[in-house]
Every structure is written in C-alpha cells, then in structure tokens.
Chains A and B, each alone.
Chain A
Amino acid sequence: MNARKSLLIFLVFTLCLLLSVGTALAQPVTITFWHAMSGSRLGVLESIIEGFNATHPEFEVKPLFTGSYAETLTKYVAAYPSKTGPNIVQSYEVGTQTMIDSGAITPVYKIPEMLGETWDWAQYVIPITNYYSVEGNLWSMPFNSSTAMLYYNKDLFEKAGLDPNKPPTTWKEMEECGEKFLASGVVDHVYSTGWPDWIFEQALAIHDHLYADNDNGRSGLATKVVFNDDFGQMVFETWTRLHDKGIYIFGGAEYSANTAFNSGQIAMLIQSTSSLAGIIKAAEFKVGTSFYPRFEGYPVGNSIIGGGSLWVTKGQSEEELRAVWEFLKYLGQKDIAIQWHKGTGYFPVSGAALKTLLDEGWFSEDQAYLTAFLQILSGKRDTAASTGVRLGPFVAMREDLVSGLEKALAGQLSPKDALNEAAEKMNLKLKDYLELHGK
C-alpha cells in the first residue's frame, strides 16, 4: 500500500517536471519594461505593447508602471545593485546625464553591432536623436519627445477684438496683446506656462544662448551655468514685469496651468506639445497653436526636446538583448509611431511616420499638430545651445531655478538677484557632481 502510494507520487512528480520543462521550452523570451506613463498615455502604450506581443510570439514584453519619472529612476537605482531591475527603463530628459554616467547602461547605438546587424539611425527625426546623442552616437531610444509651444484660445481673441489668426510672435507682442486683453476685461490674466524651468531653458535655446559651459555640458561635464548674464536677466525681468502687470499668472509646475487654459480663464498657455491631444479634447473653444514667442534682435536657435527616452540595462543575455532590440525597432516603426503620436501628441520619432501623416492629411485636418514640427525643423541644429542642456544634477538644479523665478515674481528678490542666487546654488551642485564624476 505504502510502496504503491510513493510510486504514484513519484510518477505524478515526474509528470509535473516533464510538463514544466515542456512549457518552459515553448515559453517566449520575457523582458521587463519600467515606464512612467500614466493617464491616457498608459492606455496607448499598453495597446502598443499588446500589439508587439501578439506579432512577436517568440518574445514577451512585460510593462510595469513604476510611478512618476523621478520615482521610476529611484526604483531603477535601488534595483540595479541587486540585478532585479528591468531590461528597459524609461527616463526623463533631465535624467540623461545621470544615466550616461551610471555605468548601468548599454548605449543603444552599440546594440545592432552586438547582435551582428547594422542600423541606419538617420531614419529618426534628427533634432530628437541629437538630444540623446553623445559625440554623434545615440545612447537611448527616443520614445516620447515633445517641445514647448504657444497655445491660444481663438474664441477669446475674437471676444477681445483681436485677430484670432495673429497670435503674438514676440514677447513685446505678448505684452501688447496682454494689455489689450486686460483692457477688454475678457480675462483677469492673459497667459500662464507649464514647466517654468523648462520654459526658461526653451527661452535660452530658441535664441541660441547657452545654459551652461562646456557646450551645455555636451562636450564635457559642465562646471558652471552661464545664463545669469544680460540675456537671462532680460528674460527674468520681462516675465516679472508681465507678472506685475497681471498679464502673466504663475501656474505652478508641470501641467497644473492647463486647467486655467482649458476653462477659458486665461487666453494663452506656453506648454509642452504633449498636452495637445488633451487640450483639444478638453477645450470647448477653437484652439490655436503657434511658435514659442521670441525676443526681438537676438540670434535664432531652436526649441529643445523634452519628454522621455528608453534606456537598456547593461549585462543582458544575447536572447534578451535581441528581444529588447526587436521591441525598440518596433516602437520606431511607421504605424506604431503614428499610433503613439495620434494618441498622445508626442512627436513620431521616424521620418517615414512623418511623411505618412503628411500624406494622409493629418496635419491639414488639424494644423495644430504641425506647429511643433515646423518649429523644431525650422530652427538651427548645429549648435550646442540649440540642441539642449545635459547636466548631471539637473533635476535638483531645475528646482533652484524655479524657486529663483518664484522669488522674483513674488518681489522677494530683484530678477537679477534671484537669477544670481539660483545660479550660485546650481554651480555648487555642478561642482559636487564634477568632484564625483570628474576624471
């Protein structure tokens, strides 16, 4: 009785073992992907990944939402020493230098070579890949890229007796337009912005003005910021003056100013292009978009890239790396890039996707989607200042800038002193970073 029982157990056990080996053989290569996409973006991303898994039965991408960009990076840092991190991680553009210096990354430009392939990187939109490149080599896969532009409420322009097809193109016109708006009484405040730190970076880049030395930290680690000169002061002074007049209302970080624009409380908004789909959906008025306003008489640069890109963890097995690479290629495919663009408003990363969108009349249907492209493709792209800033402790430094701006707007400090105080704090952070990373 007893012997039979143990024989039975043995048989069942062996069967289980065989079965599990069998399924393991048939199982696809699984790679994990940590991302920070929430809200409507999450749905679009998930359907793209489902599409990949369905069309590539030999691979399986497992996405995991790991909180905000900052939280995702923190988790990645914590997971790295114990090798429990993901194969692919999404990081925001301010984390770029941190990732490059991490020693935890396989740069994407090396991957095709490692797998015995060649790949033409020029098929992606150049100003975007430039941002994530070191000495011409792409380090991370651009995924969700955006830039800043001017949104305006055409209905309110008409109400205030202004031409809805003539949004302000310079800051001087912003001021004049703002005064007219206030005089008309249509709104209490005229414009606001999202991401004040990034909007300031845009102001510098659009006028081909450097933010930090060593070519914005692109030719070597930056040692100090250089924006606290006449130009930077002029920017701060202009914004403070518009704020004092009641034209500019400070809207806080990230996307909190969007509500005021969507509800018609303000007539204009300077915000990331990634808000476009959301704003068009929420607004009950005609939305116009235009280029970021310029300061007259200063050189022409370009608007810079924001958003996120995908980084590949170092030390993966070849089959994992192949899965990662197939996934990254898939994301850049024409149809997928178009799906991503239409669902979110982020740039489609490939030139082919752009052409298809143009051919099918997407841009003429709603011109608002074209503004960002024209802006980024019409500017300069051969200078460091117009390519974007890359700094190690950038996240912390941006906060110094925002609190400087807040102090200037509140009248706590003069624009000049506020700018200098921010620069001083930021320089100390750069010095510390250099101490740790300098060779």
Chain B
Amino acid sequence: MNEDKFPGHKFLPYILITPSIAVIIIFLIGPFIQSVYTSFFVSTTFGTNTIFVGLRNYIRLFSSPDYLNSAVVTFKFAAFVIIVGLSIALAIAQLLNQKIRGVGFYQVALIWTYAISPTIAGVIWASMFAPSTGLIPYIISKISGGYTLNWMTNGQLALFIVAAAATWKMLGYNIIFFLAGLQNVPDEFLEAAQIDGANPWKSFWRITFPLLSPTTSFLLFVNMLYAFFQVFGLIDIMTHGGPGNATEILVYKLYRDGFIHLNTGSASAQSFIIFFVISVVAIIQLRIVTKKAIYSR
C-alpha cells in the first residue's frame, strides 16, 4: 500500500479492503480448498460413509473415455463459439458502423439477442429443431424428399446446433463491444490511409483491426469463459448433454456428476481440473495477447 495516500492512517487501507477479502475467502477460497480436499474421497450421498481414495477420482477421470470425449467436445464447442462468434460479430459491427439510414434500428435488432435468457433461447432453438414437430426438420424433409433431421440421435448435428445457438446468444454482446471499439478508431487515421491510396480492405486490416486489439483480447477472454461455463443453461434446456454424451461439455458433466448423480468426489476432482485448465489458458492469454494489444495511440 502506498502510505502517502493515507497520511497518518497506516492501517486504514487494510481495513477498507477487509470486506472484499472476507467475501473472497468465504465464498471463493474456502469452497475451493474444500473441493480440493473432497476430491481425494468418495462418499455416500448423505455423507454417512467416506473413504479416502487418494488420486483415484483423478485417475478414473483421465482413463475414462467419457471424460476425454467431454474435453474434446468442450474444445470443439469453445473453438466454434469463439472463432465463428467473434468473426461474425466483427463483420456485423463493421457494417453497423457505416453511415446508413436507420442504423439505430439495426443496432438494436442485432444486439437484443443478448437480453434473452438462456432458458428462452434454449427453448426457441430446441423447438425449431424438434425432430418431428420443428420447422427446420420439416423444411429439410420437404426439400430433400424425406430426409429426417433428428438431432436427438445425431450427435455431431446436436453439437453444431447447440454451438450455433450459443454463438447466436452471445452475438449481441460481442457486437456492442466491437461497435464501441470501432467508434473509437479515429477517423483521421482512416482518412489518411485513404489519401495514401489504401483500399478499404487494407485499411481495415492495417489500421482498424490493430486498434481494436484491446477489445478483441477482452472479448476473447469473455467468450472463452462463456463457452466454458455460461452455456450451461442452453445445454441443460436443449440436450441434457446428449445424444450419447455428444454435447456434454466439461461443466455440464461436472453438474450432472455432482448434483444429479450426487457423486461429490468425482465432481470436486473435475472442478479442480477445470480450474487448472482455465488458469493456464487465462495466464497465456493475459501474458501474450494483452501484451501485444495496442493500448496507446
């Protein structure tokens, strides 16, 4: 602490941050330590019997094809949501940043998907693709002459649909930030480039995109957290992780093992693994991407 800022009150800064630290300890660090501890045990549902099993929960996970499958699914899912989601959002934001008539309407129309709750979004997408009553399977069946589009038995399709729904759901959020970033790009730079003879494509990649890098790296981070954790609601409503575990991302598996199957040991081990993976990815992102982002101009 910088004592100069609080002359004569040596402990004041510490007292001021105590509430936040207390909240963090009680609600984050405490449960975290407890779940690491729990991950070395197996226990009956009501805790009547607990057996120390060492690393068995971890070994089971890493030797279980289902868990490895879940990891692969998660990365596929996250890659889709991040890459496709951000690309589309950037393209749309660029279009919305033009001086066209009624731009305010388009902005709102494209952004408000973010305001829909995951439950509602899940229900909308699920009923759109419902195998025997949904609109899209119906259209496809009529066009193709009887092909049955059933995402309840086609795992790849289910994963694609869930990922598309998740991307669509996050689109509004991404567009807002990209739009804000784009509006901060000074016109003088673009005009100067224009005078120097750069075409729009070139000036976008050489000027706008580098200047957007703080926004992009922020969105990369937020979307990663979104794809790993917050899509839970969508998956729970749409597929329950099925068919055949095809959409069971890590967080969803954790939820099912911990709260439906009441297997706290395995769920704790899973939460530690996810914590570890996310920390590594976050550190890499913050170190590399943020350093490369251009903050000053």
Q: Is the CB of A80 within 8 A of B46?
A: yes
Q: Is the CB of B154 within 8 A of A74?
A: no
A220-265 contacts to B (CB < 8 Å): 243, 246, 249-253, 256, 259-260, 263, 265
Interface string of A372-384 (1 = CB under 8 A from B): 0000000000000
Please choose the segment from A11-19, A29-37, A395-403 that sits at the chain B interface, where 4 or more of its residues have CB less than 8 A away: A395-403
Chain B residues contacting A294 (CB-CB under 8 Å) are none
Complex alpha-carbon distance, A220 and B194, angstroms: 82
Chain A residues contacting B155 (CB-CB under 8 Å) are 406, 410, 412
Chain A residues contacting B260 (CB-CB under 8 Å) are 70, 74, 395-396
Chain A residues contacting B51 (CB-CB under 8 Å) are 435-436
Interface string of B28-46 (1 = CB under 8 A from A): 0000000000000011111
Chain B residues contacting A266 (CB-CB under 8 Å) are 132
- Which chain B residue lies CB-closest to A262? B133
Kindly provide the distance from the CB of A210 to the nearest chain B CB, expressed in whole angstroms: 23
Q: Is the CB of B132 within 8 A of A192?
A: yes
Q: Is the CB of B148 within 8 A of A249?
A: yes
Please choose the segment from B162-170, B175-183, B236-244, B279-287 that sits at the chain A interface, where 4 or more of its residues have CB less than 8 A away: B236-244
Instruction: Pick the most buried of B42, B43, B152, B242: most chain A CB atoms within 10 A of its CB.
Output: B152
B130-162 contacts to A (CB < 8 Å): 130-133, 141, 146, 148, 150, 152-155
Complex alpha-carbon distance, A70 and B261, angstroms: 9
Give the interface SS of chain B, mostly helix, strand, loop or mixed.
Answer: loop
* Set B42, B66, B152, B243: member contacting A436, Cβ < 8 A: B42
Q: Is the CB of B259 within 8 A of A70?
A: yes
Chain A residues contacting B261 (CB-CB under 8 Å) are 393, 395-396
Q: Is the CB of A410 within 8 A of B154?
A: yes
Q: Is the CB of B244 within 8 A of A102?
A: no
Chain B residues contacting A385 (CB-CB under 8 Å) are none
Complex alpha-carbon distance, A435 and B47, angstroms: 14
Q: Is the CB of A265 within 8 A of B45?
A: no
Chain A residues contacting B152 (CB-CB under 8 Å) are 250-252, 406
Kindly provide the distance from the CB of A421 to the nearest chain B CB, expressed in whole angstroms: 9
Q: Is the CB of B153 within 8 A of A409?
A: yes
* Set A265, A410, A432: member contacting B243, Cβ < 8 A: A410
Chain A residues contacting B98 (CB-CB under 8 Å) are none
Question: What are 24 residue pairs bridging A and B, where the CB atoms are less than 8 Å apart in the complex?
Answer: A73-B262, A77-B46, A102-B44, A103-B46, A188-B141, A188-B146, A192-B132, A249-B148, A250-B150, A250-B153, A260-B130, A266-B132, A396-B260, A406-B152, A406-B153, A406-B243, A409-B153, A410-B153, A412-B244, A425-B66, A432-B42, A435-B42, A436-B42, A436-B44
**Which of A's residues lie within 8 Å of B, judged by CB?**
70-71, 73-74, 77, 80-81, 98, 101-104, 188-189, 192, 243, 246, 249-253, 256, 259-260, 263, 265-266, 393, 395-396, 399, 402-404, 406-407, 409-410, 412, 425, 432, 435-437
Q: Beyond the given A77-B262, A410-B244, A435-B42, could you list 18 further A-B residue pairs with CB under 8 A, ordered by the A residue number? A: A70-B259, A74-B260, A77-B45, A102-B45, A188-B141, A251-B131, A252-B152, A259-B130, A259-B132, A263-B133, A266-B132, A404-B244, A406-B155, A406-B244, A409-B153, A410-B153, A410-B155, A425-B66
